[in-house]
Structures are given as C-alpha cells and as structure tokens.
Copies of this chain bind each other. A is one copy, B any other.
Amino acid sequence: MNPASSNPGGDASPGASPTFSPLYQQIKALITQSLQSGEWKPGELMPSEVELASRFKVSQGTVRKAIDELAAENLVLRRQGKGTFVATHHEERAHFRFLRLMPDEGVPHQADNRILEVKRIRAPAEVARLLELKSGDAVVYVKRLMAFDGAPTILEELWLPGQLFKGLTAERLVEYKGPMYGLFESEFGTRMIRATEKIKAVAADAGTAQLLAVPEGTPLLVAERVSFTYGDKAVELRRGMYLTAHHHYLSELS
C-alpha cells in the first residue's frame, strides 16, 4: 500500500541488519532520486506537497518532513505561496556558498578570471584516490588565476573526472559568464552539493610566487577541496592557493 509496508517486517535478507527507516526518510530518498535523475532540473518548480503526498500515498506532513531536510541540505528551495524549487548554482545566494575567501574590508565582489591551462591527463595516484577513480583514468586538469582589483590573489588547480566532463575546454571556461559550478551544472549535468576542505599554510614555490606576483617563500593558505554530488559521490578535486594579505578564509563553527 505504501512504502512503509515493506518495512517493519525485517523482510528479505536474513543475515543483513534490519535496515529500518522511517517513512519520511524513504520519501526523502525517492525525491532525491528524482532530483538526481533529472526528473526536475535545477531551477525548476517541483510538484507541490499535496501532489507528492498523493503520488507516494502518504500524508502531506510526511512529505513536508522529507522536504524540510532537503531544504536544510540546500538541495531544494521553498518559497511560500509559489512552491518548492530545485536548488541551482545560478542564483545570487549560491554564488558565495562555496567561496570562503573574504576581503578583510568591504563585501566580496567578482574576481577577474584568467584560465591558464586546460588539458586531459591520466589521473595521478593521489588524485585518483581522492576522486575514487582507478589510477590512470582520464581526468580534466584546469589551472586558473583569479584577481581582485587587479591584484592576483587566488591560484587554483582542478581535477575533474574525464568521464563526466567530456567537452570541457578552455574556450568553454572562458566564454562562460558566471560561476564555474553553474557551468558544470548546466552543461555537464553535474551538481556540486557539498565539499570538505583541508587547509594548510605553506611557503610559495618559485612558479606560484611568480604567478601571484609575490616573493618566493611568501606564506600561502592552501585549501584542498573534495566536492561531492548526489549520493556522496566525489566529482571534483580542487587545490586553491590564496594570498591572505588582504583576505581571509571564513569558517563558521557551530
């Protein structure tokens, strides 16, 4: 009758753990699948709560609780009176969600963006490990330099699974206006959901120092980011080197 009916029985596999899960979690998983499969695309309006409730044969309250969690995870966006929308990187508020480098004074503003290099390579062992690929699988490598008010501040390297980013070229990156994650979402169907960063302080090597126009040995903040899409699948490795003379990395502890 409803998804829960197959639940308390402990059913099927005898050796496995019972794998209980509340109804609203099952509904949440079903909705997430629809998001992942592209049944509703980023930016689009989703079916209303009552519609989903009738589709899944549960009460509206149960659907609400499922969507509550999806909204808390920034997968969807609720707007009273209008409906629930699939989250997208093409919005003002999304632009700064993964940008933690803030100017010491004033508000964050758009950076000048210079693509230095784009190429397809075989994944080095370390990259393959972090992206959960086989060593030697193809990856797209990107190197770019970003400047604020003419001052080079961020040097970034990216590694993306070649399988998912087939047509990614320097031209596409240069042409594209707006955040890079917007491009990934619209053109390659890969949406970044969350990420973890490991941060260190290191001395700039000769090449990096030259690009950032600082003396060799200048302390840099280095952030190694692994980004995940639906299903906690790693789909981006990013190494950012930040000059923190007039900027800082913002971290909220809660």
Contacts and interface: CB of A to CB of B under 8 A. Distances in A.
| A interface residue count range (under 10 / 10 to 19 / 20 to 34 / 35 or more) | 20 to 34
Interface string A188-199: 000001111111
A253 B200 contact: no
A46 B234 CA distance: 41
Could you tell me the dominant secondary structure of chain A's interface residues? Answer: strand
- Report which residue of A97, A193, A201 has the largest number of chain B beta carbons within 10 angstroms of its beta carbon: A201
Interface in A177-209: 193-203
Contacts of A221: 199-201, 221
Copy tally for this chain in the complex stands at: 2
B197 A219 contact: no
Contacts of A220: 201, 219
Nearest to A74: B254
A76 to B, nearest CB: 14
Interface of A: 73-74, 97-98, 100, 102, 193-203, 217, 219-223, 225, 242, 244, 248-254
